[in-house]
Amino acid sequence: MPPIIDKDKCIGCGICAAICTMDVFSHSGKGHSPEVLYPEECWHCRACTMDCPKGAVRLRLPIPYRLLFVDSATLRQGRRV
């Protein structure tokens, strides 16, 4: 479940935790990687990913959220997908 912090890249600045509008993280202080306390409350605004100075945060989309899609070519040919 989102977000996921890469501990190797994270410098523990805590920006992700400070700006999260959903209060998903907890941060115990500079130098410590934030903990993802409430992953299921993420609304995927992606602010943590955008503002992380080290590119250490990514979001994993829960399976039920996945996009449903079909081949355009099949659709265009009027064949049922």
Partner 1 sequence: MIPIQNEMTCDVLCVGGGIAALQASIAAAEEGSDVLLVDKAHPRRSGSGATGCDHFGCYLPEVHGDDINVIVREILGSQTGTCHDPRLTRRFLKESTAMVHRWESWGIPMRPKGFYEFKGHAFPTRPRAFLHYDGRQQKPILYKKAGECGVRFLPYSPVVDFVFNEHGQPVGALALRIDQEDPGFTLIRSRTIVLATGVATRLYSSETSPGMLFNLAYCGSCTGTGISLVWRNGGHTLNMEIPYIHAGPKHFARCGKASFIGVARYPDGSPVGPFVTEPDKDYGDVTLDVSHRILTERLCDGRGPIYVDCHGAPEAWLDEMREALRWEGVAAMLDHMDEEGIDFSRHAIEFMQYEPHVQGRGVEIDENGETSIPNVYAAGDIVGNFRVGVSGAAVYGWICGKSAARKSKDAPSSSSLDQNSLDAACDRCSRIYDRRGSGGATWREANIAVQTLMSSYAPVPPHKARSANLLCAGLKYMKDLRAKLDRELSADNPHELMRALEVYELLDCGEAIMHAALERKESRGNHVRSDYTLTNPLLSNKFLIMTNRKGIVAGTWREKWN
Distances (CA, A) of 38 to 4, 23, 32, 61, 80: 12, 8, 18, 14, 41
Return residues touching partner 1 (CB under 8 A). Answer: 18-23, 37-38, 40-47, 49-51, 58-59, 61-62, 64-73, 75-78, 80-81
Sign of CA dihedral 55, 4, 67, 44: negative
Closer Cβ to partner 1, 54 or 58, answer by number: 58
Closer Cβ to partner 1, 11 or 45, answer by number: 45
Report the nearest approach of partner 1 to the CB of residue 62 (Å).
7
